[in-house]
Amino acid sequence: MALFEARNLKCCRGDRTVFRGLSFCLEEGQALVLKGRNGSGKSSLIRILAGLLSPVSGDVIWEGETVFNEPEEHFQRFQYIGHLNAIKPTLTISENITYWVKLHGGKLAYLTKALKKFDLENVLDLPVRFLSAGQKRRVGLVRLIVSSSVIWLLDEPATSLDNAMIEQLENIIRDHRKEGGIVILSTHQNLKLDDAIELQLDSF
């Protein structure tokens, strides 16, 4: 029995069928990379897995049970990084992150370590509005390290990151997978992930 599984998903936006008959199975420590041209449904698939979007048909399954019956348990299981960073420009970095950690549960003790990894410890008390786009993205990504969620759902996580930070992101994903975590991500940049499963969405 696979740990995390999508079965026969069908997604429609408006009248258009984005994909149909999409299935995959993931075990501990595996990574799934979503590929496909613009509009092929990479974001839609991630949003379905996060429970933000309902599939027209099909099911998302965790340890043999559908996740849609117990949404709050499912929400505890994953961290979602979308196109937007969900940070408030007037609050400081630590205020922004602490809020989400308190809502989601996680270890605030990891915060210093996490900020160091993303090279943010010097700007900790600065309101976010003074940061660059790449720094804001990093603030969004800090949630990943502080949380204790098994699944990471990452929609274009490397947007506006520089090369050093992309490498750091690759390291962090590797560490997470070593601890048995599952990573599902969509990307246009070539993130280097060891033996990741590729899913070409154009063919669905």
Around Cβ 139, how many Cβ atoms within 10 Å?
Answer: 22
Here the tokens at position 166 are: 């992309």
Closest approach of Cβ 92 to another protein, in Å? 10
Is residue 80 close enough to count as binding another protein by CB under 8 A? yes
Segment interacting with another protein, rule: CB under 8 A, options 24-32, 34-42, 94-102, 171-179 = 94-102
Which of 6/193 has CB closer to another protein?
Answer: 6
Give the three-state DSSP class for 176: helix
Nearest-Å Rg of the Cα atoms of the chain is: 17
| d(C-alpha 106, C-alpha 97), whole Å | 11
Q: Which residue of 105, 107, 119, 171 would you call a contact of another protein, by CB under 8 A?
A: 105
Q: Is 135 exposed, middle or buried (0-12, 13-18, 19+ CB in 10 A)?
A: buried
Buried b (16+ CB within 10 A) or exposed e, 17-45: ebbbebebebeeebbbbbebeeebbbbbb
Q: Which residue of 29, 35, 100, 126 would you call a contact of another protein, by CB under 8 A?
A: 100
Residues touching another protein, count (CB under 8 A): 29
Amino acid 12 reads C
Is residue 72 close enough to count as binding another protein by CB under 8 A? yes
Q: Which residue of 1, 103, 109, 164 would you call a contact of another protein, by CB under 8 A?
A: 103
Residues 48-67: x/- map of binding to another protein (CB under 8 A)?
--xxxxx-------------
Closest approach of Cβ 73 to another protein, in Å? 7
Closest approach of Cβ 34 to another protein, in Å? 18
Here the tokens at position 102 are: 């308190």
Q: Is 174 exposed, middle or buried (0-12, 13-18, 19+ CB in 10 A)?
A: middle
Residues 9-48: x/- map of binding to another protein (CB under 8 A)?
--------------------------------------x-
Is residue 187 close enough to count as binding another protein by CB under 8 A? no
Give the interface with another protein as residue ranges (CB under 8 A). 47, 50-54, 72-73, 75-76, 78, 80, 82-91, 95, 99-100, 102-105
